[in-house]
Structure 1
Amino acid sequence: MFGIYLKRELGRRKKAALVIAMGLALGIALVITVNSVSAGMNQAQDKVLKSLYGLGTDMTVTKAQSAPKAGSSQGPSFKFGATSSSSSSQSSDRVNTQGGQALASSLVTKVGSQKGVSTAVGALTLNVTKVDGSFTQGKAKSSTTSGSSGSSQQGGPGGSGTSSTGAPQVQGGGANFNVNSYSVAGIDVTNQTLGPLSTSKITTGKTFTTAQTNAKVAIVSKSYAKTKKYKVGSTFKISSTKFTVIGIATPNSSESTIDVYVPLKQAQTLSDSKNKVTTIYVKATDSKQISAVKTTIQKNISGTTVTTSADLASTVSGSLSTASNLATSVGKWLSIAVLIAAFLVAALLTSSAVSRRVREFGTLKALGWPSRRVTRQVVGESMVNGLIGGGLGIALGLLAAYTVTAISPKLTAQLGSTGGGGGQGGGPGGGQGGPGQQATSNTLEIALNAPVSLTTIALAVGLAVTGGLIAGAMGGWRASRMRPADALRSVS
């Protein structure tokens, strides 16, 4: 009886039911769209942060570069040996540590022993500036001038001179040099799950083995290999040390800030930094306790700077940051406001529909229907309207999310400095800007997607049921208060 009556009443009031369902559908669709876009923003920010951190890295430990002493020069310098040949090729490499002041390798073990730390791995980031070219030696030529003088050497006493030889002048010569700057990361080959190389996968060749802790082998990034025309088996030199390329690394997301990867001991030898690292990559045992682990490390290991992914996220600017803030603040509040309005409209329309059914409900009560049965009937109709609205809202939300993913709008993310001793982009172990210097900005372009999770769908269904219950509760309360006498008074 309940189902038959419900079906008949909804069939008689198709327009009213459709209006209520569409109101709920729009609110639910907006919630799905905002949630899916927010999820896409989070994924995009994760991609940006993964260009600085290794996969699974929760935080990094660095030490800010000390201020230079007064009068000391921080600029690059090169020394070439002079030769007597008229044309001589010269070459020199300048290797500097970057990403912060060097830390003792023993700190890696100390950090790894802190409460809440699962794994700690050290890395040494270098910047190599190679200058090569040639000098061309100039030739000294003297010039001859003419004139007269009262006491010329050539004219004798009282005589007059006709010419004199001036100071020699160098003519010709010069220099032609090329400058090539690239980044090198020394990694712990015994644990490659953390650190700079973990952000990339080896697409050609192979990765390091645990036996190559001090081998003269290297992995180069795909972009750098393309620029230098390197392939597996190619060789190159860093400060007269010859390395063999064993693999080509392709970044998992965005462009990597590292060009060359070598075993940690080799990097320490190149930079004369024995038993030193510039960055300690840390993975926590529980991702929910990262803040507590950060506090523990800073308390027990003084003088270090601990940077978490949350700290780096605050340095991301550009259209990605702007859109993320809009989706998080304005978008969510807007969706909540629209959803509340949809619930209220559904409740008011249901209540209005009940008030127009005075004779119907009054007659049913006169026939013996109790108030709870009338209320159940109204709530049942509202629940069906809510589920219809939920189905339409899910369909509209999925369509909107699919449209965003299909268009894939491009967002830019600019990485700034956290001020903690990071390199390029402000991240520890990053690229071109060193501590004590203004970090070189790193702008990445990210394609926005709008993934819809099962949790979002479940949320939409819950909202549809909630909307139906709210509307049914208000309408049922109104219907339960009607008396059979109301139906008789409404008869004209």
Structure 2
Amino acid sequence: MFGIYLKRELSRRKKAALVIAMGLALGIALVITVNSVSAGMTQAQDEVLKSLYGLGTDMTVTKAQSAPKAGSSQGPRFQFDAKSSSKASQSSDRVMTQGGQALKSSLVQQVAAQKGVASAVGALSLNVTKVDGSFTQGKAQSSGSGGQQGGPGGSGGAQPQVQGGGANFNVNSYSVAGVDVANQALGPLATMKITSGKTFTSAQTDAKVAVVSKSYAKEKKYKVGSAFKISGTKYTVIGIATPDSGESSTDVYLPLKQAQSLGDAKNKVTTIYVKATDSKQIATVKKTIQSNISGTTVTTSSDLASTVSGSLSTASDLATTVGKWLSIAVLAAAFLVAALLTSSAVSRRVREFGTLKALGWPSRRVTRQVVGESVVNGLIGGGLGIALGLAAACTVTAISPKLTAQLGSTGGGGMGGSPGGGPGGGGPGQQAKNTVEIALSAPVSVTTIALAVGLAVAGGLIAGAMGGWRASRMRPADALRSVS
């Protein structure tokens, strides 16, 4: 009886049922869209952190740069030999460590021995500034109309002047990362894929070989087998690497020992990459390292997440704040409209409900009938809302709008100003200068669908509760008064 009556009443009031269902559908669709876009923002942020922080890296250990002593100069200095040839070219490399104060390599084993640490790998970040060019000698030429040149006490003639000459130098800066070739799955090379040539072997701990990023190789026209020099040391390119996502923050990768030799940092590292045994215990492991190894700064990926800026950060803020409150406002309006329309429909059915009560229907049965109709309307609205929300999410994924992101400073490491933060670019705690471009997607999870169904049922129950309450207050006499 309940089902038959329910079907007949809904078919009689198709227009009203459709209006209620569409109101709920729009609110639910907006919730699905906002939740999906927010999930896409989180995935995009993870991609940024993975490309700049290190695949599989749960945290990094660094040490803040000490304040410079009074009167000391921290800037690079270049010295050139004086040469008689006016066209002889000059070249000099300045190699400086980046990413905070250098740490002893023995600290890597100390960090690896901490409770909750699965593995730890050290890396050395360098910045190479290359200055090359030539000086041109000027020529002395006399000016004036001649005459004797005055001697001591004389009136004197025109003095000779140097004309021409000068200097023409190019300045090129690039980043270098020293890699532990025995454990490349963690650290600077973890986010890179070798697309040409090969990576380091375990036997090349001190070999004069290099892996370069694809963008840097294109800029310098390097290929596998090409050679280049850093501070007079010749290196051979054995591989070209492409980042899994975004742009590489490091230009050149060298075996750790070679990088230590270039940077005059024997048995030193600037960043220790750490992987925890349990990703849920990262905060605990961070506290353990900080308490047992004093003077170090431990930065987790969640710490870096707050420093991601650019259009990705702006869109994320909009999705999590404006989107959330907009969804709540639309849902509240949809629930209110559904409740008012249901209550209005009940008021137009005074004769019907009064007659049913006169025939013996108890108030709870009338209320149940109204609530049942409202829940069905809510489920219909939920189905439409899920369809609209899925369509919107698929549209966002198909369009894949491009967002940019930069990794800013966390204040934990040194502010060395290297070309990039994260692996090989100076480590956490620096200002990243490279921009990562991420394609936005809008994945829809089972949890989001379940939330939509719950909202549909909740909307139906709220509308049914108001309508049922009004129907339960009707008396059979109301129906008799409306009979002509």
Unaligned runs of 5+ in 2: none
The more displaced of 380-389 and 478-487 is 478-487
Give the AA of the match of 1:117: V
**Pair 1:405-2:406 in alignment:** no
Equivalent residue number for residue 71 of structure 2: 71
Task: Assess, with a 3 A threshold, how the Cα gap between structure 1 residues 331 and 95 changes in structure 2: closer, same or farther.
Answer: same
Task: Assess, with a 3 A threshold, how the Cα gap between structure 1 residues 481 and 78 changes in structure 2: closer, same or farther.
Answer: same
Question: What CA distance in whole angstroms lies between the structure 1 residues aligned with 2:182 and 2:432?
Answer: 31
Mapping for residues 71-150 of structure 1, pairs under 5 Å: 71-85=71-85, 87-137=87-137, 146-147=147-148
Equivalent residue number for residue 22 of structure 1: 22
How far has the Cα of 1:308 moved from its partner?
A: 2.1
**Pair 1:254-2:246 in alignment:** yes
Bigger Rg, structure 1 or 2:
1
Equivalent residue number for residue 284 of structure 1: 276
Question: What CA distance in whole angstroms lies between the structure 2 residues aligned with 1:148 and 1:119?
Answer: 80
Mapping for residues 350-365 of structure 1, pairs under 5 Å: 350-365=342-357
How far has the Cα of 1:261 moved from its partner?
A: 0.7
How far has the Cα of 1:142 moved from its partner?
A: 7.9
Q: TM-score, normalised on structure 2? A: 0.89
Provide Cα deviations, 1:214-237, integer angstroms capped at 9, x if missing partner. Answer: 222211111100011111121212
Mapping for residues 174-323 of structure 1, pairs under 5 Å: 174-323=166-315
Provide Cα deviations, 1:222-279, integer angstroms capped at 9, x if missing partner. Answer: 1100011111121212222222212111122221110011111111111111111111
How far has the Cα of 1:469 moved from its partner?
A: 2.4
Give the AA of the match of 1:417: S
Provide Cα deviations, 1:127-146, integer angstroms capped at 9, x if missing partner. Answer: 11122333445566789952
How far has the Cα of 1:335 moved from its partner?
A: 0.8
Mapping for residues 346-425 of structure 1, pairs under 5 Å: 346-422=338-414, 423-424=417-418
CA contact (8 A) 2:80 2:90 kept: yes
SS at match of 2:52: coil
Give the CA RMSD over aligned residues.
3.1
Provide Cα deviations, 1:341-380, integer angstroms capped at 9, x if missing partner. Answer: 2223222322332232233233334434444443332222
Question: What CA distance in whole angstroms lies between the structure 2 residues aligned with 1:151 and 1:212?
Answer: 71
**Pair 1:62-2:56 in alignment:** no
Percent identical: 84
Question: What CA distance in whole angstroms lies between the structure 2 residues aligned with 1:98 and 1:139?
Answer: 43
Q: TM-score, normalised on structure 1? A: 0.88
Equivalent residue number for residue 11 of structure 1: 11
Task: Assess, with a 3 A threshold, how the Cα gap between structure 1 residues 488 and 164 changes in structure 2: closer, same or farther.
Answer: closer
Task: Assess, with a 3 A threshold, how the Cα gap between structure 1 residues 268 and 149 changes in structure 2: closer, same or farther.
Answer: closer
CA contact (8 A) 2:374 2:461 kept: yes
SS at match of 2:196: strand
How far has the Cα of 1:416 moved from its partner?
A: 2.7
CA contact (8 A) 2:299 2:428 kept: no
Task: Assess, with a 3 A threshold, how the Cα gap between structure 1 residues 433 and 20 changes in structure 2: closer, same or farther.
Answer: closer
CA contact (8 A) 2:90 2:134 kept: yes
SS at match of 1:146: coil
Question: What CA distance in whole angstroms lies between the structure 2 residues aligned with 1:292 and 1:263?
Answer: 32
SS at match of 1:380: helix
How far has the Cα of 1:75 moved from its partner?
A: 1.9
Give the AA of the match of 1:188: D
SS at match of 1:186: strand
Question: What CA distance in whole angstroms lies between the structure 1 residues aligned with 2:149 and 2:217?
Answer: 69
CA contact (8 A) 2:54 2:423 kept: no
Unaligned runs of 5+ in 1: 153-160
CA contact (8 A) 2:210 2:235 kept: yes
Question: What CA distance in whole angstroms lies between the structure 1 residues aligned with 2:318 and 2:140?
Answer: 70
Number of residue pairs matched by the alignment = 481
Give the AA of the match of 2:2: F
CA contact (8 A) 1:433 1:439 kept: no
How far has the Cα of 1:124 moved from its partner?
A: 0.4
**Pair 1:50-2:42 in alignment:** no
How far has the Cα of 1:427 moved from its partner?
A: 3.5
Question: What CA distance in whole angstroms lies between the structure 1 residues aligned with 2:370 and 2:148?
Answer: 123
SS at match of 2:206: coil
